[in-house]
Amino acid sequence: MKRWIIGCLLSCFAPLWGQAPAQQEVVLSASAGSKLGIAVPFPQATGMDSALLEKEFHSVILSDLEEAGPFAVIRQNLPKTTDAASYPAWVATGTDWLLILKMSHRPNGDLETRLEAIDAKPGKGVFGKTYVGRDNALRLMAHSISDDLVARLTGERGVAASRVVFARQTAPGVKEIFQIDRDGAKTSQITSYQSLTISPTVARDGRLAYVTYKGGYPALWGQRKPGGPHEKLYPIGEKQPQGPCFAPCWSTDGKRLAFAQGDRKGNSDIMVLDLATDRVRRLTESDCINTEPNWNPSGNQLAFTSDRDGGPQIFLMEEDGSNVRRLTREGNYNTSPSWSPGGSMIAYVSRFEGKFDLFVYKLGEGKAYQITTGVASSESPSWSPDERRLVFSSGSRGGTQLFTTDLSGNQLKRLTDFAGCQSPRWVRSR
């Protein structure tokens, strides 16, 4: 049983206990109400490559809006003009909002894009904004436009410009931290330690923390200030920790890091590091494995995985380690809790019918809902900032890719096209 802690260190869990009993599969609806019909004609632009505009801008906006949730993108039988006289024809296609995009270059070479969103039925403008950037920032500009439109309609900014931070194997025994855009574009490498570097966690202000073996033992590294250098956070100085550190998680306020620390007996406990004082506080005291701490949005509770009752299960406790109670009751292997941004749900991994699937526990109902079915084993769920989707790793050991899914499990998309990905964390930006 104590072999599980080794799996935690490598962020790849091996099935060590018996099969889980059957669990009820319930489809969790991810949307409600009717969608707003939105049409986005090809932008009016001069002096620009049309093929580049289609690939890096126009198609990106369409994809962003379709995935955003509240919009139904109108693609068929579009009128050829966008003047006021054509508005009734747009309405006839099902268009509620008509997006008119005009692009031109300023004298200094900057690309200026003017967006005007028209409510087609009354023929009135509902939103307008000017975006300025370089030609190589077309995708970012498209993401920003989509996010602004979502904010205009729902009051909450969209997540098209968000990113996913993850660990990836680059050579035998070597893993580094990478990031990728929410739509699978623009992969970039963050660390280059040529060592085992895993378990990234990102604070709300963009600071990164992770576990790395670059010093010969697993220690916590990261940033103390936004945009600051990467430095060792724990243990301070050259001192080695009493046991291996793993599974760090930033608190919501970015002032604390919860993590697990092992001992020589193969047990581990949840610890909390205060970044202002460098003091470490132990939250759990038990002869078992306690790991994978995850803060709630208020920062006053943590979910974590523990095998104190036999097999691994999800537990909750207060920020000071008090009031420990078990959350999951179905299945004998439940791990990797991830608290939703709104605080009402916890995603986790459960072994079901011989493989691992994603489940979501709705705290208000006291029920768990199965999200993924019929795919390879799924691990390490992380919520999108708007709480509409999950990113996770899936595949055979060593060949894992990153995927996203809506909460119904029906809109499954592969995010990466390279293997060796694990521990994704979905963040607004970095």
Q: Transcribe 238-307 into DSSP letters.
A: TPPPSS-EEEEEE-TTSSEEEEEEE-TTS-EEEEEEETTTTEEEE----SSBEEEEEE-TTSSEEEEEE-
Give the three-state DSSP class for 41.
coil
The domains of the chain are located at: 4-30+162-427, 36-154
Q: Report the share of the chain in percent with pLDDT over 70.
A: 90
Please determine, for residue 429, whether its predicted confidence score (pLDDT) is greater than 80: no
pTM over 0.75: yes
Please determine, for residue 204, whether its predicted confidence score (pLDDT) is greater than 60: yes
More confident residue, 389 or 5: 389
Give the three-state DSSP class for 20.
coil
User: pLDDT tens-digit profile of 301-319?
Assistant: 999 999 999 999 999 999 9
For residue 71, give the H/E element and its range: strand 71-73
Question: Which range, of 29-38, 173-182, 332-341, averages the lowest pLDDT?
Answer: 29-38
More confident residue, 332 or 201: 201
Please determine, for residue 228, whether its predicted confidence score (pLDDT) is greater than 90: yes
Average pLDDT of every residue of the chain: 89
Q: Average of pLDDT values for 11-27?
A: 34
Question: What's residue 265's pLDDT?
Answer: 86
Question: What's residue 240's pLDDT?
Answer: 67
Helix axes 138-154, 59-68, angle to 10 degrees: 30
Q: Can you tell me the distance from the alpha carbon of 195 to that of 174, in angstroms, rounded to the nearest whole number?
A: 5
Please determine, for residue 2, whether its predicted confidence score (pLDDT) is greater than 60: no
**Torsion sign over Cα 282, 330, 402, 297:** negative
8 A C-beta contact, residue 190 and residue 206:
no
**Which of 30-34, 181-185, 236-240, 393-397 has the largest mean confidence?**
181-185
Return the bridge partners of 256, or none. Answer: 274
Q: Average of pLDDT values for 401-418?
A: 93
Q: Average of pLDDT values for 252-271?
A: 94
Q: Can you tell me the distance from the alpha carbon of 295 to that of 255, in angstroms, rounded to the nearest whole number?
A: 12
**pLDDT band at residue 239 using 50, 70 and 90 as cut-offs:** low
**pLDDT band at residue 74 using 50, 70 and 90 as cut-offs:** very high
For residue 149, give the H/E element and its range: helix 138-154
Sequence-ordered list of residues with C-beta below 8 angstroms from that of 11, at least 6 positions apart, any chain: 167, 198, 199, 246, 247, 380, 422, 423
CATH number of 4-30+162-427: 2.120.10.30
Token representation of residue 68: 């955003």
Question: What's residue 396's pLDDT?
Answer: 63
**pLDDT band at residue 25 using 50, 70 and 90 as cut-offs:** very low
Fold of the 36-154 domain = Rossmann fold (3.40.50)
**pLDDT band at residue 31 using 50, 70 and 90 as cut-offs:** very low
Q: Can you tell me the distance from the alpha carbon of 67 to that of 159, in angstroms, rounded to the nearest whole number?
A: 10
Please determine, for residue 279, whether its predicted confidence score (pLDDT) is greater than 50: yes
Omega of the bond prior to 79 within 30 degrees of 0, cis? no
In the block, tokens 């050991």 appear at 397
Q: Locate all alpha helices (DSSP H) within 54-109, ordered by sequence.
A: 59-68, 87-92
8 A C-beta contact, residue 183 and residue 60:
yes
Q: Average of pLDDT values for 402-428?
A: 93
